[in-house]
Structure 1
Amino acid sequence: MLVTDVNEALPGGSSLLRNEPVQARSSARLTGLLDAAASIIDEIGYERLTTAMVAERAGASIGTVYRYFPDRIAVVDALALRCMQRLTARVVEAVSHDDVTDWRQAVDLVVDAKVEMYRTEPGFRAIRFGDVPDLGAPQQAPVSSPLADSVLRLLVERFDVVADERTELAVQVVVEIGNGLLARAFVAGGRGDERFVEECRRVVTSYLEPVLTVG
């Protein structure tokens, strides 16, 4: 489980890490550092986060933090990657059920999954999902979000949606819209403002309707 947590945090051997954890003990240590960072970010925001705070909260030395992360930005990026992986896993699990027979249901479940992450995942509210993490290499083309990629793949596999340029752009757009509306819903924390949650459902469904509805 600890190794899974680390893989979720930094999929594909991200260059955010100075050293890849190869043993369960190292994985547990890295997971603890990210958990500590998440709890601090919930309290004071990521702008004020420091590597010293992470070390103190995790009960680790500052050297342990620097063993894995070159700076505080790398810690935040790693936490964002872990949050995105956990969100994507929830979406895939929810939409894959046999009783989900319509793309509109799938859209609702995507919104539900993200709302639940806001309510239960430490550090999630502070992550800026519209920002592309710095993965150490210049981007030659616009980068779609992992969530948009997963949603499109599920729509194609489950509901016979054609993955053409129009559909790909539409899914990316609604993911960005959803990010903004749900961030607004949870700007004050707590259970969130249901008005913005419901508007998120309405807006993204309405935007996708003429693209995904055939005939």
Structure 2
Amino acid sequence: MNDRSSPAPSVTVRNEPVQARAAHRIEALLDAAAAVVVEHGIEHLTTALVAERAGASIGTVYRYFPDRVAVLVALAERNLERMRLAIERVLIVDHPSWPEAMDAIVGAMVETFREVPSFRMLRTGEGLDLGPQHREAVAPLFVDDMVEYLQERWGIETDAEQRQRLELGIGGLDALVTYAFLHDADGDPRYLQMGVQLAQAQIGELFPTERPATAQR
């Protein structure tokens, strides 16, 4: 073994604890921010309240977030990632039919609203007035996830028109699930059911209800 290659791993080892501590601090600050949003509302969130809730100095907050908008953006990004992970966990299950898969996707969305602090108020940040910062639409991201799922699990290729129908269905479903949680912490079941019906009407007819034999696993 060449002796000159040995110092390289030691640099990584020295850096890893620092990176881990920074990641832990950021998560703790975002947890604090979520608690502030739940207790006081988005409009009242400040970096000072985040620091107080996290038991950190204001300098620690500013080390990672220059202002309250940056905190909200980071929290919204984390919410989006948690929603995507929840749906991904559903999509790796081998559902026997498309309607069952759709029901499971809605279930994952509902649980995210219920279980992730601040999600009801902040969601993924699309509705935030962030000044010069622009939040991209979320539905196309989920369309990409769904297209991959349909191809890998069902052997279905989607064209541009089907992708547009998927985006409309996902967007409408998201809007109704969001409204279901607007005044009900558990989600108004009437609007949740309406969301399922809309998604199935908009999306379900595009694809077979049973998995094609060639796509069986």
TM-score range (shorter-chain normalised) is 0.7 to 0.9
CA distance in 1, matches of 2:69, 2:44: 11
User: Counterparts of 2:140 and 2:68 in 1: how far apart (Å)?
Assistant: 22
* Richer in helix (by share): 2
1:108 is aligned, of 98, 103, 107, to: 103
Please, which runs of 5 or more residues in structure 2 have no aligned partner?
1-16, 210-217
> Equivalent residue for 1:44?
40
Residue type of the alignment partner of 1:93: R
Distance (whole Å) between structure 2 residues aligned to residue 137 and residue 126 of structure 1: 19
Aligned residues: 191
Q: Indicate which of 122, 125, 144 corresponds to 2:117.
A: 122
Between 197-206 and 185-194, the greater mean CA deviation after superposition: 185-194
- Conserved in 2, the CA contact under 8 Å of 1:130 and 1:179? no
Separation of aligned partners in 1, 2:151 and 2:127: 25
- Please state how far the C-alpha of 1:195 moved relative to its aligned partner: 0.6
Within 5 Å, give how 1:100-179 maps onto structure 2: 100-129=95-124, 131=126, 144-179=139-174
- TM-score, normalised relative to structure 1: 0.79
Matched, 1:204 2:199: yes
**2:164 counterpart SS class:** helix
Tell me the distance in 1 between the aligned counterparts of 2:184 and 2:172. Answer: 19
In structure 2, C-alpha distance between the alignment counterparts of 1:39 and 1:189, rounded to whole Å = 18
Can you list the C-alpha shifts for 1:5-47, whole angstroms capped at 9, x where unaligned? xxxxxxxxxxxxxxxx952211111000000111111122212
Which of the pair has more CA radius of gyration? 2
Matched residue of 1:43: which SS?
Answer: helix
Shift, 1:57, TM fit: 0.4
- Report 1 or 2 for greater relative contact order, CA contacts < 8 Å, sequence distance ≥ 6: 1
How far, CA to CA, are the matches of 2:85 and 2:167 in structure 1? 18
Matches of 2:120 and 2:150, distance apart in 1: 26
- Provide the aligned C-alpha RMSD in A: 2.6
> Given that residues 69 and 75 in structure 1 are in contact (C-alpha distance below 8 angstroms), is that contact kept between their aligned partners in structure 2?
yes
Q: Residues 138 and 55 from structure 1, CA distance in 2 versus in 1: closer, same or farther, beyond 3 angstroms?
A: closer
Describe the shift of the 1:118–1:142 C-alpha distance in structure 2 as closer, same or farther (beyond 3 A): closer
1:189/1:67 CA distance change after superposition, 3 Å: farther
Amino acid at match of 2:29: L
Please give the per-residue CA displacement for 1:134-168, whole angstroms capped at 9, x wherever unaligned: 8x9889x9775433322222122212222211121
Partner of 2:55: 59
- What are the equivalent positions in structure 2 for 1:70-109 lying under 5 Å apart? 70-98=66-94, 100-109=95-104
> Which letter does structure 1 place at the counterpart of 2:105?
V
Classify 1:77/1:142 alpha carbon distance in 2 versus 1 (closer, same or farther; 3 Å): closer
